[in-house]
Amino acid sequence: MSLPDDSRYLRGGPVAQRIIAAVREDAAIATAEGFPPKLVSITVGDTAAVEVYVRNQRAKAALAGIEFEERRFPADITAGELEAAIHGLNADPRVTGIIIQRPVPAHIPIKTLQAAVHPLKDVEGMHPASIGNIVYNQLDLAPCTAAASVELLKETGLDLKGLEVVIVGHSEIVGKPIAFLLMSEGATVTVCHHMTRSVAAHARRADALFVAVGRPRLIKADMVKPGAAVIDIGINSEIGPDGESRIVGDVDTDSVKEVASWITPVPGGVGPLTVAILLRNTMVALSRQRALYQATYGVVDKLAAE
Amino acid sequence: MSLPDDSRYLRGGPVAQRIIAAVREDAAIATAEGFPPKLVSITVGDTAAVEVYVRNQRAKAALAGIEFEERRFPADITAGELEAAIHGLNADPRVTGIIIQRPVPAHIPIKTLQAAVHPLKDVEGMHPASIGNIVYNQLDLAPCTAAASVELLKETGLDLKGLEVVIVGHSEIVGKPIAFLLMSEGATVTVCHHMTRSVAAHARRADALFVAVGRPRLIKADMVKPGAAVIDIGINSEIGPDGESRIVGDVDTDSVKEVASWITPVPGGVGPLTVAILLRNTMVALSRQRALYQATYGVVDKLAAE
C-alpha cells in the first residue's frame, strides 16, 4: 500500500534512511580504527514469530556496515543457561550489543535476561540502569520504540521547551521512557492510562499526543487539539471491509488527519524507525565501550609511548 | 515551634515513628538470624554542613536497632580513591547499606560515586539501576525524599487510582521519582517545571499537588484546587518579620491551608520522614541481599542436610 502524498504525514522511512547513513559513516570509521561494531541476536524456541523482525534487523545492519550474528537456543533451555550465554557475550570484546528477541518461552523471565545484559552492551535500552540513565538526563541510549517516537516529534520542528505533551499509555518500554525523554527536553508531560478519569480531556489540550495502548482507533478527531502533532505507536491487526487482514494504529488516522497538523501513518510511521534507532544505539554503546577501554588501558599506551 | 493543632496538617513525625517501630522489629529478627543490618555513612572534606544530618541518621538508626558507622575522608581524596573505598564496602558482607553525604568537594563527581555503590546496597535509591527498577514497577526502594512524599499522600486515604496528580519540579531525585511511583500506583501524573507555560493552570486541576522547586511560597491559595492534598517538599531559609532566620516551604502554607484539605507543614512534614524511609530501605536492601545469598549458596545448605 502506498500512502497518499500529504505533508501532514510524519513518515519514518526517510528519517530511518538518514540515521542509517550516519551510522554507516560512524561504523566505517570505527571499523578502520580496529573496533568493528557487531550485534548478536538471541532467539529462544520457536523463532517463526520473530523471523520477520530478525531478517529486517539483519538487512538494516548490513546496510549500516554492522556485523549481525544470530544465536538460536532451544525452547527447553533454562533461564540459568541463557544467562550464562549472555554473560559470555558480555565478556566477549568482539560483541558490541546484545538483542533479546521477544517473545521468549513462558518459563524464561524476560526481565532477568534483560538485566543480565551488561548495561554497556544494552542496545535495546531495556536494562534498569539504561532506563535510570535516561531519568538522569543521559538521553542518547533509550528504548528503541520510545526514541523513534520522540525522533518523529522532532521532525515537526516544534520547540520542545514548554510544549504540552500528553502520552496515552504508561508501559515501561514505551510510554514512560517517552515521558522522561521529553521531560528532559523541557516539555510539560502528562501520562494517561486505563485508570485515567478522562483521557479525552487531557488529549484535547496536548500540543503533542503520543498513543501507545494497543486499542485500534481509540483516538478520534474530537479528542485532538487542532494543529497538534499526533504520534501513533499502536500496531493492531484487524479485518478490513474487503475481508483482508490489515494493520491499523491506536489513532483513527483518516479523521484525525483533518484536525492535526502532523500525524504518523500506521504502518510507515514509528515502525520503520525503530531498527534505525537500534543501530544508532549500537554506535552509542560502542563509543561508551571504547571510552571505558581508554580509561582502563590508556595508561598502558602512555607507558608504551615513553 | 509547635504547630497549631489542625487536622489538615499531614505531619511526618507520627508516620516516621510508626515506620521506625516496624523497622526495629524487622531488624531484631534479622539480627537474631545472623544478618544484623549495618549502615556506613561516607563524608568527604569539611563535614560541618552535614553534621546535623549525620547525627540525626545515627540517632534514628540506633532507635531502629541498626548499626551506624561513619567514615570520614579528607577533602583532597581523589574520586578514584573514594570509588575504591566504596567497592570495598560493596564487597564487605557485614555492610548492608552505603550513604554518601552531600555535598562532596567540587572535584568529586557525585554521580560517579552514586553509581559505584552496588545497587543491592543502594539504600538512598540513587543508583541509575534503582531508579530504573522503579520505572519497572519495583517500588519498594526509592529515593528517600520522593518515597517520603508519596507516603504522606497515602496518609490521606485518597484512592491513588485515577487521581489527578501534578508535580511542580522535575529533579532527578525528587520530582521524577515521585512521578514514576505514582504512575505505578495508577495516578494520572503531570510534571511541571520552570519551562511550563502555566504552572498555575496545571496546579489548579490537581487532586494532589507536590511542590519541589526551592522557591519560597511559590504556590498561593489561588493555584490550589479546593479540597486538594498539598505536599510541600521545599526547604527554604528566609528572614522573618522578627529578624530571625526561619525555614519555609515552597507553598504559602497559611493561605493554602484554607483551600486545601490536607497540607504538609514545613518544617515537620516530609523532612522527618526521610530518615525513616532510609532505614526502611536498609531493611529492603538486607532482604534482597539475603535472597541473593540464598539463591547462590542455598544448594550448599541442601548438600549439608543430606
pLDDT value of residue B306: 44
CATH of the domain at B71: 3.40.50.10860
pLDDT value of residue B294: 86
Q: Are the C-beta atoms of residues B99 and B42 closer than 8 Å to each other?
A: yes
Same domain, A60 and A108: yes
Cβ partners under 8 Å of residue B153, min gap 6:
B160, B182, B208, B210, B229, B231
Dump pLDDT digits (tens) for B108-164. Answer: 999 899 999 999 999 999 999 999 999 999 999 999 999 999 999 999 999 999 999
Range of the domain at A256: 135-271
Instruction: Provide the ipTM.
Output: 0.92
**pLDDT tens sequence for chain A (306 residues):** 445 567 789 999 999 999 999 999 999 999 999 999 999 999 999 878 789 999 999 999 999 999 999 999 999 999 999 999 999 999 999 999 999 999 999 999 998 999 999 999 999 999 999 999 999 999 999 999 999 999 999 999 999 999 999 999 999 999 999 999 999 999 999 999 999 999 999 999 999 999 999 999 999 999 999 999 999 999 999 998 999 999 999 999 999 999 999 999 999 999 999 999 999 999 999 999 999 988 888 754 444 444
CATH of the domain at A173: 3.40.50.720
Same domain, B152 and B66: no
Report chain A residues whose CB lies below 8 A from the CB of B114.
none
Nearest CA in chain B to A165: B190
Q: Which residue has the cell 561513619?
A: B70
Phi, psi of B148 (to 5 degrees): -65, -40
In chain A, DSSP assigns E strands to 38-44, 67-73, 97-100, 164-168, 188-192, 208-211, 229-232, 236-239, 245-248, 262-263
Report chain B residues whose CB lies below 8 A from the CB of A135.
128, 131-132, 135, 172, 176-177, 180
pLDDT value of residue B49: 78
Same domain, A95 and A185: no
Cβ partners under 8 Å of residue A273, min gap 6:
A12, A15, A16, A19, A148, A151, A152
Q: How far is CA B260 from the centre of its chain?
A: 24
The answer as to whether B301 is a domain residue is no
Determine if the peptide bond prior to B267 is cis (ω within 30°).
yes
Helix (H, G, I), strand (E, B) or coil at B169: coil
The answer as to whether A88 is a domain residue is yes
Q: Which of B256, B241, B211 is nearest to B6 (CA)?
A: B256
Same domain, B120 and B145: no
pLDDT value of residue B229: 98
Same domain, B120 and B139: no
> pLDDT category, B43, cuts 50, 70, 90?
very high
The answer as to whether A13 is a domain residue is no
- Strand A262-263 and strand A229-232: the pairing is parallel
A186 touches chain B (CB under 8 A): yes
Domain stop point among B104, B124, B144: B124
Tell me, what amino acid is at A153?
Answer: L
Dump pLDDT digits (tens) for B91-103. Answer: 999 999 999 999 9
Same domain, B48 and B167: no
Dump pLDDT digits (tens) for B69-81. Answer: 999 999 999 999 9
Indicate whether B233 pLDDT > 60: yes
Same domain, A87 and A195: no
User: Number of structural domains, chain A?
Assistant: 2
Alpha helix locations (H) across chain B? Answer: 12-32, 48-64, 79-91, 110-116, 128-135, 144-155, 175-184, 199-203, 253-256, 271-305
The answer as to whether A195 is a domain residue is yes
* A168 strand-pairing partners: A192, A211
Same domain, B117 and B145: no
Sheet strand arrangement including B97-100: B67-73, B38-44, B97-100
> Is B170 assigned a ligand-binding role in the annotation?
yes
Phi, psi of B41 (to 5 degrees): -100, 135
Contact yes or no for A188 and B192 at CB 8 A: yes
B135 touches chain A (CB under 8 A): yes
The answer as to whether B276 is a domain residue is no
The answer as to whether B50 is a domain residue is yes
B183 touches chain A (CB under 8 A): yes
Q: Are the C-beta atoms of residues B133 and B284 closer than 8 Å to each other?
A: no
Same domain, B263 and B146: yes
Number of neighbours of residue B255 by Cβ within 10 angstroms: 15
Same domain, A116 and A170: no
pLDDT value of residue B302: 47
Same domain, A171 and A188: yes
Same domain, A122 and A187: no
> Is B219 assigned a ligand-binding role in the annotation?
no
For residues B82 and B114, what is the distance between their CA atoms, to the nearest angstrom? 11
Determine if the peptide bond prior to A226 is cis (ω within 30°).
no
Q: What's chain B's average pLDDT?
A: 93
The answer as to whether A284 is a domain residue is yes
Q: Are the C-beta atoms of residues A38 and A96 closer than 8 Å to each other?
A: yes
